[in-house]
Structure 1
Amino acid sequence: MKKKSLDEINGSVKVPTVYESAFWQKFLAYSGPGALVAVGYMDPGNWLTSLSGGSRYGYQLLVVLFSSILIAMVMQSLSIKLGVVTRTDLAQAIAGRVNRPTRIVLWLLNELAMMATDLTGVVGTAVALKLLFGLPLVFGVLLTIADVLVVLLFLRFGIRRIEFIVLFAILVVGTIFAVEVCRAHPAVAAIAAGFVPHSVILTNHRELLLSLGIIGATIMPHNIYLHSALAQSRRYDEHDPKQVTETLRFANWDSVIHLVAALIVNALLLVLGGTLFFHHGDLASLQDVFYGLKNPAIVGKLASPLMSWLFAFALLITGLISSITSTLAGQIVMEGYINIRLPLWKRRLLTRFVTLIPILIIGFIIHFDEAQFEQLIIYAQVVLSIALPFTLFPLVAITGNRGLMKEHVNRPWQTVVCYLLVALITGLNLLVLV
């Protein structure tokens, strides 16, 4: 018998049949997995690139941010389709088509990617604790071990309640940045112009590199694996073609809407950087933003300790919430590739301890210098960039397999477009690495 992906939540949420209930009832029943995935598009790595892009180039890179989310929507839709149609996640689908040595190599590579994802959460949480409470970074890092208790507490509620908690967290973070941007009174016309492509992006070397960084760092392996499993959390009749088609439709609506929310949050960060910090030098770290928000010499009469505190609070929320998704994604990878199943609390502790070892070693080497410590986020993006092609190329290939996907197989033009997008993302990541 085929093992279920994330057995604890697989098929745990009942949804209306295709023949009953109104559109909005169905939409609400299917909504939720997209929120868990959207958190991955709002991690500290995205915060740094968005804020830095705004502080250096104003609103010009909004079009780059918009383009990266569009590409993400395409890739997440393939992940959804794989999970809904085949009732397998991406790790299971790949493992069933390669030999054992290849499975082990892919497992190790993706484990590194999961740890890199976890690293951004650890660094973001530790920095937030330092900014909010003055807690030394080393103690903030060690304190993140306790977030396993937060994850376990959330998981006891069931996947539906977790989805609501994460959605509420996204709304809180979005509201905080919306308030901060509104206080800054940005030029609406200039923001609109930022969504129009500018040739200077291609001719300015530094601006091009930052643009490549935004696109290359947006899509991460754990989100692809995660969505292919979360799409199976709904209890639908997989033998009813109409039900499968409807599940795909609403799951994609859920994904698109929450990715739009992720776009809004990242755009607010970029606008915040462009409005308050443009012409005030590059923002090298998250702490630069924190101190800058309450520094009259930089933001003038808009300086506010409350706004800087809310910024750090939002960073703390995203750091904690990302623990849930990295735990689930790590479980998917381990079960799918090497068929080892651990209780989620053990999986969480294992990932966190392995992640903390290099963080603490590097931290002591650099004497936990705050600016250098945040650069660990950049190194994490390097690992994710290396792992990404080994996730996206198989995803496109598998969803283009007619024998597996049947009538939901990628159309030839879709396959060509997706391969081109994956090649583009891979090329951008390589260019950024170089």
Structure 2
Amino acid sequence: MSDFKGSISIPKDGTPWAKFFRFLGPGLLVSVGYMDPGNWATDIEAGSRFGYLLLSIVLFSSLGAIALQYLSLKLGIASGMDLALASRMQFGKKTNLFQWFLAEIAIIATDIAEVLGSALAFKLLFGCSLLTGVAITCLDTFIVLAFAGKGFRKIEAIILGLVATIGICYLVELLLLDLHMPSVLAGYIPSLSLAHDPHSWYLAIGIVGATIMPHNLYLHSAIVQTRKIGVSEVEKRQAIRFSTIDTVVSLSLAFLVNSAILILAASAFHGTGRNEVADIQDAHRLLEPIMGSWLAPLLFAIALLASGQSSTFTGTIAGQVILEGYLNLQLPSWKIRLITRSLALIPAFIGVAWLGDDSTGKLLVITQVILGLQLPFAVYPLVKFTSDKKLMGSFANRRPLKLLTWGLFAVISTANIWLIVQIFN
């Protein structure tokens, strides 16, 4: 990542629109993590089991994500440090190593979801076995390598194309459905009817883990620094303002995609009495007979492949940020990709071989719960650092934002403690 820092110039004499255009991109890369294959598994099972009721969790998670990603971009622009580097500078050696270990687990869990999602997409599109699909995902390493030296703006353009593919596919899917919009909109209102169902809590935490992803907090604080913004307070404030708009727009798109996945599952499966659809393969198989079109499962598989491949790029970049920041270790992107993908392939192979081709949904949900459990350990330092006036100066969080983000940290931590208690009971 150090090679890309300040690589995109901002015209000092340009119009506000010209400057704003140069800031577009980092939010899009971050949004990829909010619509990766792990989200699909949790959203499909949530929609199948509980209809539209967990749309309120998708909404809450998306709003929380915008708040935390705002802190992340502000840390990167105001301090000139990403979250991993700030942790190394502010914490002791033991705490730093512990934080690095948890961040690496989050990266591996994210990559397992990418492996499983991409492998399943290959199976659905080409009819190969899931194990063969897992093996094919090794090749995406070479895709990353092919574009590693092309410049950061090229990577952002590729991600834009993949995200647009996902969005178009789901727009067409929803147009094929006969949605009852009052029921859909009612799902965004929190309901107490799910409070006593342990599985709804499990899925809710999975949705939070799939939506607010730990590695995105590290990623965003680094990639906003690809813009060469200057050192004055005025320039930094302008950069924060433009980057915030970029983030809100991009994460709103991710929110719509996540909503679309859950709505599709709720309408197509829960609405027709199929309340036990928890696997992406089952969802794909049932779409054609339920929706009456061969186009529906094809678009579903194409969007899944685009989701997995776009996550490959951001996962590689986040891995670089974590290694450089926590360990001051700079490795070529191909080495990081090989290490991370190898660590993800082993559990993916074991899980599929042990549990069978129908295990993808369960394995994906597990990865998202793991990410949810890791999240407080990334949120705590982020809120702490951005509230520190010595580090942030005039950009430090003010009282309302402190209360909001510490409250969000408390909610996430409490939910995770509850989940751990339920697992061991």
- The answer to whether the superposition gives a TM-score over 0.5 is yes
The alignment yields a C-alpha RMSD, in angstroms, of: 1.6
Q: Does the CA-based 8 Å contact 2:278-2:362 persist in structure 1?
A: no
Change (3 A) 1:427 1:341: same
What count of residue pairs does the alignment treat as equivalent?
Answer: 419
**Is the counterpart of residue 291 in structure 1 residue 321 in structure 2?**
no
Change (3 A) 1:202 1:363: closer
Deviations 1:140-167 (A, max 9, x none): 1111111011112232321112112111
Which residue, 348, 360, 364 being the options, matches 1:359? Answer: 348
**Is the counterpart of residue 45 in structure 1 residue 38 in structure 2?**
yes
Change (3 A) 1:407 1:430: same
Query: Counterpart in 1 of 2:223?
Result: 230
Instruction: Give the drift of 1:410.
Output: 0.7
Query: Which amino acid counterpart does residue 283 of structure 1 have in structure 2?
Result: V
Q: TM-score, normalised by structure 1?
A: 0.93
Matches of 2:190 and 2:93 in 1, distance apart?
46
Query: Counterpart in 2 of 1:257?
Result: 249
Query: Counterpart in 2 of 1:417?
Result: 404
Query: Counterpart in 2 of 1:389?
Result: 376
Change (3 A) 1:191 1:365: closer
Query: Counterpart in 1 of 2:98?
Result: 105
Query: Counterpart in 1 of 2:330?
Result: 341
Q: Does the CA-based 8 Å contact 1:45-1:378 persist in structure 2?
A: yes
Deviations 1:279-303 (A, max 9, x none): 22221100011101112xxx1xx32
Query: Counterpart in 2 of 1:276?
Result: 268
**Is the counterpart of residue 403 in structure 1 residue 390 in structure 2?**
yes
Give the % identical residues: 38
Matches of 1:276 and 1:323 in 2, distance apart?
29
Query: Counterpart in 2 of 1:124?
Result: 117
Deviations 1:156-179 (A, max 9, x none): 321112112111211111111111
Q: Does the CA-based 8 Å contact 1:216-1:428 persist in structure 2?
A: no
Q: Which 5+ residue runs of structure 1 have no aligned equivalent?
A: 1-5
Change (3 A) 1:215 1:104: closer
Deviations 1:159-213 (A, max 9, x none): 1121121112111111111111111121122222222233324355544443343
Deviating beyond 6 angstroms after TM superposition, the runs of 4 or more aligned structure 1 residues are: none
Listed as ranges, the matches of 1:152-163 within 5 Å are 152-163=145-156
Q: TM-score, normalised by structure 2?
A: 0.94
Listed as ranges, the matches of 1:63-78 within 5 Å are 63-78=56-71
Deviations 1:254-297 (A, max 9, x none): 011000000010111111112111122221100011101112xx
**Is the counterpart of residue 137 in structure 1 residue 124 in structure 2?**
no
Q: Does the CA-based 8 Å contact 1:37-1:223 persist in structure 2?
A: yes
Change (3 A) 1:358 1:53: closer
Q: Which 5+ residue runs of structure 2 have no aligned equivalent?
A: none
Query: Which amino acid counterpart does residue 237 of structure 1 have in structure 2?
Result: G
Query: Counterpart in 2 of 1:25?
Result: 18
Change (3 A) 1:209 1:351: closer
Q: Does the CA-based 8 Å contact 2:41-2:361 persist in structure 1?
A: no
